[in-house]
Structure 1
């Protein structure tokens, strides 16, 4: 019972550690190498399935009539645009090249990528507003769809990216990842109420589904780090930079949100990033090594999420 209680209280760190350990076991034991190679595409297919289920279960709890923009959305969005502009100015003014450029790209991808689709799950655990968080997720993806086609060709002149093509591709990914589960949840919520009630009656279902997806992502992240073609020192610099950025974005988000009495929502909106998307855009359009930045960021943000959830649970117990 104590083990189950520990897993329940520390789901995210347990998922991260389990994913890393499983990968290392299969990577370091030669006899398991064949199975690992065969299982890799299976896990890659499972990840979007888990993310779809996470959002579907979450959207079953959403009041769709409350999905509308509010004041803090625009300030968080503006902050993201200005921060991206600052990194772009740094790259252009100092004409960064080599490892300096890779480091800047790693930081940029962690800023320019949208709010995590699963941010609403943590926000709900922390007592935030589910509808406002869901609305900002769409706004954030739209901002990212505008920024990437503008910024990336400036950084890498050889980047084969056109504005409308990239904009349409990102919106397509948003549609499949966010809109489809939302439509399905809307149908179930309004036309299959018994099923919806059964789904929502299972406490923290979306949270534990997200833990399963995090296990897969953590293993993939460790794989990318171990296979990175660079020195340990430079990997540590990227890791520390992503940690500093993670703390900076969570802190600034909470500071902005405090002005609107939405500290939790704004903190998660700016700090919790769709790092899987960031890894994809870094690998596709920039230096593949820059994908280590968002790979490390996912570990930091989920450690912060775990601490926030632990603090919220402790406060709730004291309040009883």
Structure 2
């Protein structure tokens, strides 16, 4: 029972630890090379399915009548655009090249990435509004859809990135992984009442599904870092600046939120990023090394999430006593 309680209390760090260790074992034990090659495409195929299920289960619990924009959405979006503008100004104004450009691209990925689909899951665990965070997730994704085709061609001038091709490609990803599970959840909620009741009756189902997806994402991240053709100094700098950026985004989000009595919601909205999507963006449109930024960001944001959940659980137990 103590082990089960520990796993429930520390789901996120345990998931990350298992994902990292599993990759390292399969990658560096010669006898497991065949198994590693067999499971690699399977893990790549399973990850989108897990993310789809996380959103589907989350949307099953959403009151769709409460999904509407509110004022903190505007201010969080403004600061997100401001951060993107600052990084773009540094890249273009200083005409950065080589490793300095890769470093700034890595940081840009951690900013321009949309709000994580799992942010609503964490917000709910922290006692915040599921509907308001879910609404911002949609807004954030469509802001990213517009920003990427505008910003990326200015950075990688040699890349063939037209606005419409990038726009439609990213929009397709957003629709498949965000809009479709919402529509499916809406249908289930209003037409399949028994199935809906069964799904919503399982406490923290979306949270544990997210833990499973986090194992795969962490393993992929460790793989990208291990095989990154970059100096240790560059990788360390990306990781440390990613930590600073993560803290700043969570702090600014919470600062904005306290004006609207929505500290948890705004903090998660600005700080918790869809890093898997960011990694895909970086490897598709920029220098592939830029994906190390959101890869490290996964670690930092989930350490912060774990601390927040631990603090919330501690408050609950103190009130209970």
Q: TM-score, normalised by structure 1?
A: 0.99
Q: Distance in 1 between matches of 2:280 and 2:119?
A: 19
Q: Distance in 1 between matches of 2:12 and 2:149?
A: 33
What is the aligned partner in structure 2 of residue 146 from structure 1?
Answer: 146
Q: Distance in 2 between matches of 1:78 and 1:143?
A: 11
What is the aligned partner in structure 2 of residue 232 from structure 1?
Answer: 232
Q: Distance in 1 between matches of 2:314 and 2:159?
A: 48
Q: Distance in 2 between matches of 1:18 and 1:144?
A: 31
What is the aligned partner in structure 1 of residue 19 from structure 2?
Answer: 19
**1:193 CA displacement:** 1.0
What is the aligned partner in structure 1 of residue 107 from structure 2?
Answer: 107
What is the aligned partner in structure 1 of residue 62 from structure 2?
Answer: 62
Q: Distance in 2 between matches of 1:115 and 1:162?
A: 24
Q: 1:229 is paired with a residue of what secondary structure?
A: coil
Q: 1:161 is paired with a residue of what secondary structure?
A: coil
Q: How big is the alpha-carbon RMSD for the aligned residues of Structure 1 and Structure 2?
A: 0.7
**1:34 CA displacement:** 1.0
Q: Distance in 1 between matches of 2:136 and 2:128?
A: 13
What is the aligned partner in structure 2 of residue 251 from structure 1?
Answer: 251
Mean alpha-carbon deviation: is it higher for 282-291 or for 165-174? Answer: 165-174
Q: Distance in 2 between matches of 1:208 and 1:287?
A: 33
Q: Distance in 1 between matches of 2:142 and 2:182?
A: 17
Q: Distance in 1 between matches of 2:269 and 2:281?
A: 20
What is the aligned partner in structure 2 of residue 283 from structure 1?
Answer: 283
- Provide, for residues 212-268 of structure 1, a one-character-per-residue CA deviation record: whole Å limited to 9, x for no partner: 000000000000000000111211111001111100100000001111111000000
What is the aligned partner in structure 2 of residue 266 from structure 1?
Answer: 266
Q: Distance in 2 between matches of 1:53 and 1:92?
A: 40
Q: Which runs of 5+ in 2 are unaligned?
A: none
Q: TM-score, normalised by structure 2?
A: 0.99
**1:165 CA displacement:** 1.7
Q: Distance in 1 between matches of 2:5 and 2:143?
A: 40
Any residues of structure 2 matched to 1:35-50 within 5 Å, and which?
Answer: 35-50=35-50
Any residues of structure 2 matched to 1:92-103 within 5 Å, and which?
Answer: 92-103=92-103
1:241 equivalent to 2:225? Answer no
Any residues of structure 2 matched to 1:1-320 within 5 Å, and which?
Answer: 1-320=1-320
Q: Distance in 1 between matches of 2:165 and 2:133?
A: 28
**1:30 CA displacement:** 0.3
**1:307 CA displacement:** 0.7
**1:194 CA displacement:** 1.2
**1:39 CA displacement:** 0.5
Q: How many correspondences in the alignment? A: 320
- Provide, for residues 267-305 of structure 1, a one-character-per-residue CA deviation record: whole Å limited to 9, x for no partner: 000000000111111111111111100000011101110
Q: Distance in 2 between matches of 1:287 and 1:34?
A: 30
Q: Distance in 2 between matches of 1:293 and 1:30?
A: 29
Q: Which runs of 5+ in 1 are unaligned?
A: none
Q: 1:157 is paired with a residue of what secondary structure?
A: coil
Q: 1:158 is paired with a residue of what secondary structure?
A: coil
Q: Distance in 2 between matches of 1:57 and 1:223?
A: 29
**1:116 CA displacement:** 0.5
